[in-house]
Chain A
Amino acid sequence: MIRNANSLDNDATLTADICIIGAGAAGITLARELAGTGRRVILLEGGADGHEGRHQELYSGRMSGVGTWKLDVMRARRFGGSTNLWAGWCRPFRPEDFEARAWMPDSGWPITYDDVLPYYRRAAEIIQIGPFTWDAAAVAEADGHALLFPPDSDITTEMFQYSPPTRFAATYRADLERGEGLDVLLEASVVEIRLSEDGRRAESVRCATLDGVSFSVRAERFVLAAGGIETPRLLLASSAQAAEGVANGAGQVGRWWMEHPHYLRVVGIVTPRPLDLAFYRRHTTTLSVDGGPDVETSIQGVFSLAKSVREAEQIMDWTCSIREYDIDDSGLDLDPRSVVALASPGDDPRYYKLTARVEQTPNRDSRITLMDERDALGMPRADLNWQIHDRDKERMRRALDIFGAELALRGLGRVWVPTEEDGRLAWGPGPGGHHMGGARMGDDPATSVVNADCACHEVPNLYIAGSSVFATGASANPTFTIVALALRLADHLKEQD
């Protein structure tokens, strides 16, 4: 059943076995999994069925650190959450992305790739991509495409699969309408998590609509799946019983917040011939796995660093897509002479647009806090202080250098990238709209918010789903992993009494 919270009686109290807060990729996945299991499940969505400015405005906040898109821009407060916005890029994390790397401070998840793998396979179906196969070299060979670099190069080729992209509310509306024991409430903003007297148990959430209806939901278990900014915001704002907020005795809520710092620039490459980028453009192919049926899907090759290079150079995950660029139409202030400076006879300057992203080193001081200013529901607005270690900026520069070295080594050209007057790489880290961390997963309650089951250390019946729990962010877009982790959490919840 899907209904509007404004239809409820004022001061009503609803009860459920499980209350899920947030109807985005994680929340809808959980609700679908838990429906029909004999549990009463309430799914609360703060936004309406479609975009409404007054709901979206509740997302407004402040950026006090590295600039990203405005807080009310790169996420959607509406049914389906930010799956209404996403572009559909999908790639799983790699095994090493979950591991602690000695040279990467504060890295490491309490779970492994193998723990998540079965859920990735199921998540692939939910986000409507092809079979779970990621061998770019094999796919390129089957398609008759050439890789730009041999597979044993410092620069490797990996691939993304594209989701249509799946708009979760539209795609799974019927499941949510019919879900046995499932009650979906729209325009139901949670404004406070209420705890038991000893503070060890979440007992209810207080909800409000912009039209003046207040109500509460009591449940045995709660799952906070509100996104990478709202999740810590709600935990911090629930301060009536604990001044520091819910699950924040160790002061970790809101910390370790991450994005994918992006490098988006046009670069020059003096090449003896145009680069063969057919595999690196989005194209349709047919994939199958383990003798399964052929499935037509959309993919795109990207460049990455070989694992040995990442380790030797102490670079976290890095990926880069590339496409041809017509400098004459760009309006960019590039001096073509710079790009012909080292041309060999017969080589030509050509321009390419690089979109590279590097994994952030976890940074405790990168965090969400609360502003004094409040929104229309009385909630303190979020202050996003995104911080990036200097080493991450240096690693992006180094990765681009290695990309240039590999092109030169393979006789494919020399790279010229825009620099500042002092010679530094011209780069102000751009955002990807990938909000991660803020309630990170870990074994140590002193440095994390949730455990390997996504349960809050301090409030074990309060779970967190979504990218807030990411301990590190790799360089892959997060939605695929969000859905996989939500499926894993659903299995855990099904095992509870």
Chain B
Amino acid sequence: MHRRRFVELALGGVAFASIAGVAACRSAGPCDLPATADPAWSGMSARQRGRAVAEAALGEHLEDAVAVGRAYLELPGVEERLDAFRCEHVEGQVSLNASLQSISSAIEADYSDRNVINVQGWVLSEAELMRCALVV
């Protein structure tokens, strides 16, 4: 399932059109944890869950990756998309592993669709960049 649609403007620059996932998440109301959530996972604050995901995915390189995430957040219109991403792939997941798997699928879908952005020299999917931004 491809949640993002990447629109490349004809003469350069990038923009991102509406994200199906955003609409879906908003229509469901607040980003509540599913009732079946892992207690350890549900006991964390939203920020802690984001950090747990980033740490698990990026390990010892977290600090450098955060710098990439920070640069990503400087792009226009990113905040709203990051909220939607957090909602769908972190808050809406039942466990750390489920969140990691959900993000992994989003990353693969992005690469399959060539939905990549160059940030600080890195050619990365937006989902991957958002993962870096979870702890900013």
Tell me the minimal C-beta distance from A380 to chain B in angstroms: 36
Q: Is A350 an interface residue (CB 8 A)?
A: no
Q: Flag B45-60 by CB within 8 Å of A: 1 or 0 each.
A: 0000000000000110
A337 surroundings in chain B (CB, below 8 A): 64
Q: Is A212 an interface residue (CB 8 A)?
A: no
A402 adjacent to B121 (CB under 8 Å): no
**Selected interface stretch from B15-23, B78-86, B90-98, B108-116:** B108-116
Q: Is B73 an interface residue (CB 8 A)?
A: no
Given the interface contacts A417-B121, A417-B123, A419-B118, does A342 sit within 8 Å of B11 by beta carbon?
Answer: no
Q: Give the dominant DSSP class at A's interface.
A: helix
Interface size on A, residues (CB 8 A): 34
Question: Which of A154, A416, A425 is the one whose CB lies under 8 Å from B122?
Answer: A416
Q: Is A495 an interface residue (CB 8 A)?
A: no
A397 surroundings in chain B (CB, below 8 A): 118
A401 surroundings in chain B (CB, below 8 A): 114, 116-118, 123
Minimal Cβ-Cβ distance residue in A for B115: A405
The number of inter-chain residue pairs (CB within 8 angstroms) is 88
A425 surroundings in chain B (CB, below 8 A): 118
B12 adjacent to A409 (CB under 8 Å): no
A342 adjacent to B58 (CB under 8 Å): yes
Bound form: Cα–Cα A137–B82 in Å: 41
29 cross-chain CB contacts under 8 A: A338-B64, A338-B120, A338-B121, A341-B64, A341-B65, A341-B122, A342-B58, A342-B61, A342-B65, A391-B10, A394-B11, A401-B117, A404-B123, A404-B124, A405-B114, A405-B116, A408-B123, A409-B108, A414-B122, A414-B124, A415-B122, A415-B123, A416-B121, A416-B122, A416-B123, A417-B121, A419-B118, A423-B119, A423-B120
Binding site for A on B (CB under 8 A): 8, 10-12, 58-59, 61, 64-65, 67-68, 71, 107-108, 110-112, 114-125, 128, 132
Q: Give 5 A-B pairs besides A345-B59, A408-B124 with Cβ atoms closer than 8 angstroms.
A: A314-B10, A338-B64, A341-B65, A391-B11, A402-B116
